[in-house]
A = this chain, B = another copy of it.
Protein backbone atom coordinates (compact mmCIF):
# COMPACT_ATOMS: atom_id res chain seq x y z
CA UNK A 1 0.00 0.00 0.00
CA UNK A 2 1.17 3.50 -0.88
CA UNK A 3 2.07 5.80 2.00
CA UNK A 4 -0.28 8.72 2.68
CA UNK A 5 0.90 12.05 1.31
CA UNK A 6 0.25 15.09 3.48
CA UNK A 7 -0.94 18.53 2.46
CA UNK A 8 -0.26 21.00 5.27
CA UNK A 9 -2.19 24.26 5.63
CA UNK A 10 -0.20 26.70 7.76
CA UNK A 11 -2.12 28.61 10.45
CA UNK A 12 -0.85 31.57 12.48
CA UNK A 13 -2.31 34.47 14.44
CA UNK A 14 -3.78 36.95 11.98
CA UNK A 15 -4.27 34.45 9.14
CA UNK A 16 -7.14 35.58 6.92
CA UNK A 17 -10.04 33.19 7.51
CA UNK A 18 -11.05 32.41 3.92
CA UNK A 19 -7.41 32.19 2.72
CA UNK A 20 -7.10 29.06 4.87
CA UNK A 21 -10.64 27.64 5.00
CA UNK A 22 -11.50 28.06 1.30
CA UNK A 23 -8.67 25.71 0.24
CA UNK A 24 -9.27 23.52 3.33
CA UNK A 25 -12.85 22.92 2.19
CA UNK A 26 -11.80 22.06 -1.38
CA UNK A 27 -8.88 19.84 -0.40
CA UNK A 28 -10.56 18.08 2.53
CA UNK A 29 -13.70 17.52 0.47
CA UNK A 30 -11.48 15.75 -2.06
CA UNK A 31 -9.27 13.76 0.32
CA UNK A 32 -12.10 12.64 2.65
CA UNK A 33 -14.31 11.49 -0.22
CA UNK A 34 -11.42 9.92 -2.12
CA UNK A 35 -8.91 8.46 0.35
CA UNK A 36 -7.88 6.11 -2.48
CA UNK A 37 -6.05 9.06 -4.07
CA UNK A 38 -3.56 8.85 -1.19
CA UNK A 39 -3.65 12.38 0.19
CA UNK A 40 -4.61 13.79 3.60
CA UNK A 41 -5.02 17.44 4.63
CA UNK A 42 -3.83 18.73 7.98
CA UNK A 43 -3.58 22.17 9.56
CA UNK A 44 -0.42 23.09 11.44
CA UNK A 45 1.08 26.07 13.23
CA UNK A 46 4.38 26.92 14.89
CA UNK A 47 3.14 25.87 18.35
CA UNK A 48 0.02 23.84 17.56
CA UNK A 49 -2.00 26.05 19.90
CA UNK A 50 -5.26 27.84 19.08
CA UNK A 51 -4.78 30.69 16.58
CA UNK A 52 -6.90 33.83 16.38
CA UNK A 53 -7.49 34.66 12.73
CA UNK A 54 -7.46 38.14 11.18
CA UNK A 55 -11.19 38.73 11.69
CA UNK A 56 -11.40 36.99 15.07
CA UNK A 57 -12.25 33.35 14.25
CA UNK A 58 -10.44 30.90 16.56
CA UNK A 59 -9.11 27.66 15.06
CA UNK A 60 -7.16 24.91 16.79
CA UNK A 61 -4.57 23.38 14.41
CA UNK A 62 -4.15 19.61 14.06
CA UNK A 63 -0.39 19.72 14.60
CA UNK A 64 2.57 21.91 15.53
CA UNK A 65 5.58 22.33 13.22
CA UNK A 66 7.38 19.88 15.53
CA UNK A 67 4.70 17.16 15.58
CA UNK A 68 3.51 17.37 11.95
CA UNK A 69 4.39 14.56 9.54
CA UNK A 70 6.67 15.31 6.57
CA UNK A 71 4.63 17.37 4.11
CA UNK A 72 4.38 16.76 0.38
CA UNK A 73 2.48 19.98 -0.25
CA UNK A 74 2.57 23.17 1.84
CA UNK A 75 -0.19 25.80 1.58
CA UNK A 76 0.67 29.15 3.17
CA UNK A 77 -2.33 31.49 3.54
CA UNK A 78 -2.06 35.26 3.88
CA UNK A 79 -3.57 37.92 6.08
CA UNK A 80 -2.25 40.75 8.24
CA UNK A 81 -0.55 38.11 10.37
CA UNK A 82 1.99 37.52 7.58
CA UNK A 83 3.71 40.85 8.29
CA UNK A 84 5.30 39.79 11.63
CA UNK A 85 6.29 36.49 9.95
CA UNK A 86 8.39 38.40 7.39
CA UNK A 87 10.66 39.45 10.25
CA UNK A 88 10.74 36.11 12.06
CA UNK A 89 13.90 34.23 10.94
CA UNK A 90 12.74 30.89 12.40
CA UNK A 91 9.56 31.04 10.33
CA UNK A 92 11.48 31.83 7.13
CA UNK A 93 13.92 29.02 7.96
CA UNK A 94 10.97 26.63 8.33
CA UNK A 95 9.62 27.76 4.94
CA UNK A 96 13.04 27.21 3.31
CA UNK A 97 13.32 23.77 4.94
CA UNK A 98 9.90 22.86 3.59
CA UNK A 99 10.82 24.10 0.12
CA UNK A 100 13.83 21.77 0.23
CA UNK A 101 11.80 18.70 1.23
CA UNK A 102 8.16 19.15 0.12
CA UNK A 103 7.53 18.72 -3.58
CA UNK A 104 5.21 21.68 -3.87
CA UNK A 105 4.91 25.04 -2.09
CA UNK A 106 1.63 26.91 -2.56
CA UNK A 107 0.33 30.19 -1.20
CA UNK A 108 -2.85 32.23 -1.06
CA UNK A 109 -3.00 36.03 -1.00
CA UNK A 110 -0.14 37.59 0.98
CA UNK A 111 1.24 34.16 1.85
CA UNK A 112 3.48 34.84 -1.17
CA UNK A 113 5.10 37.74 0.73
CA UNK A 114 6.43 35.15 3.19
CA UNK A 115 7.74 33.03 0.31
CA UNK A 116 9.37 36.14 -1.18
CA UNK A 117 11.03 37.02 2.14
CA UNK A 118 12.32 33.44 2.37
CA UNK A 119 13.86 33.76 -1.12
CA UNK A 120 11.60 31.18 -2.76
CA UNK A 121 10.36 33.44 -5.53
CA UNK A 122 13.68 34.69 -6.95
CA UNK A 123 13.34 35.17 -10.73
CA UNK A 124 9.96 33.43 -10.71
CA UNK A 125 6.53 34.55 -11.89
CA UNK A 126 4.24 35.01 -8.87
CA UNK A 127 1.20 36.89 -7.62
CA UNK A 128 -0.53 38.08 -4.43
CA UNK A 129 -3.53 40.17 -3.27
CA UNK A 130 -4.03 43.11 -5.65
CA UNK A 131 -3.32 45.61 -2.87
CA UNK A 132 0.05 43.97 -2.07
CA UNK A 133 1.58 43.67 -5.54
CA UNK A 134 4.02 46.53 -4.81
CA UNK A 135 4.96 44.96 -1.49
CA UNK A 136 5.85 41.75 -3.34
CA UNK A 137 8.17 43.65 -5.70
CA UNK A 138 9.69 45.55 -2.78
CA UNK A 139 10.61 42.26 -1.07
CA UNK A 140 12.31 40.85 -4.17
CA UNK A 141 12.64 42.92 -7.34
CA UNK A 142 13.55 39.81 -9.37
CA UNK A 143 9.99 38.45 -9.07
CA UNK A 144 8.04 38.58 -12.32
CA UNK A 145 4.81 39.90 -10.81
CA UNK A 146 1.71 38.57 -12.59
CA UNK A 147 -0.80 41.26 -11.67
CA UNK A 148 -3.75 39.82 -13.62
CA UNK A 149 -3.45 36.13 -12.73
CA UNK A 150 -5.90 34.28 -10.47
CA UNK A 151 -3.00 31.98 -9.61
CA UNK A 152 0.44 31.26 -11.05
CA UNK A 153 1.62 27.65 -11.37
CA UNK A 154 5.42 27.68 -11.64
CA UNK A 155 5.81 23.90 -11.30
CA UNK A 156 7.07 23.56 -7.70
CA UNK A 157 5.67 26.88 -6.45
CA UNK A 158 2.09 28.06 -6.93
CA UNK A 159 1.00 31.51 -5.74
CA UNK A 160 -2.55 32.93 -5.77
CA UNK A 161 -4.27 36.29 -5.85
CA UNK A 162 -6.25 37.57 -2.85
CA UNK A 163 -8.37 35.63 -0.34
CA UNK A 164 -11.08 33.91 -2.44
CA UNK A 165 -8.54 33.04 -5.17
CA UNK A 166 -7.40 30.21 -2.90
CA UNK A 167 -10.57 28.31 -3.78
CA UNK A 168 -9.71 28.40 -7.48
CA UNK A 169 -6.06 27.51 -6.79
CA UNK A 170 -7.12 24.58 -4.59
CA UNK A 171 -9.37 23.21 -7.34
CA UNK A 172 -6.38 23.44 -9.69
CA UNK A 173 -4.34 21.57 -7.08
CA UNK A 174 -6.90 18.74 -6.92
CA UNK A 175 -6.81 18.57 -10.71
CA UNK A 176 -3.02 18.47 -10.77
CA UNK A 177 -2.49 16.03 -7.87
CA UNK A 178 -5.20 13.61 -9.04
CA UNK A 179 -7.01 14.34 -12.32
CA UNK A 180 -9.37 17.00 -13.69
CA UNK A 181 -12.58 14.97 -13.21
CA UNK A 182 -11.89 14.79 -9.48
CA UNK A 183 -11.76 18.59 -9.35
CA UNK A 184 -15.00 18.74 -11.33
CA UNK A 185 -16.71 16.52 -8.76
CA UNK A 186 -15.36 18.58 -5.84
CA UNK A 187 -16.58 21.73 -7.55
CA UNK A 188 -20.02 20.15 -7.89
CA UNK A 189 -19.92 18.92 -4.28
CA UNK A 190 -19.35 22.43 -2.92
CA UNK A 191 -21.79 23.81 -5.52
CA UNK A 192 -19.16 26.26 -6.74
CA UNK A 193 -21.12 28.06 -9.44
CA UNK A 194 -20.40 31.57 -8.23
CA UNK A 195 -22.94 34.33 -8.84
CA UNK A 196 -21.63 37.46 -7.10
CA UNK A 197 -24.76 39.57 -6.54
CA UNK A 198 -22.84 42.86 -6.73
Contacts and interface: CB of A to CB of B under 8 A. Distances in A.
Interface stretch (A55-63, A83-91, A97-105, A116-124): A55-63
A50 B60 contact: yes
A28 B129 CA distance: 18
A71 interface: no
Given A194-B194, A198-B180, A22 B24 contact: no
**Majority DSSP secondary structure for residues of A touching B:** mixed
A109 B168 CA distance: 20
Interface residues of A, number: 48
A175 B194 contact: no
Contacts of A171: 196-198
Nearest to A26: B18
A21 interface: yes
Interface string A103-138: 000000100000000000000000001100000000
A168 B190 contact: no
A195 interface: yes
Given A198-B171, A198-B180, A60 B62 contact: no
A161 to B, nearest CB: 5
Contacts of A193: 150, 164
Contacts of A189: 162-163
B150 A195 contact: yes
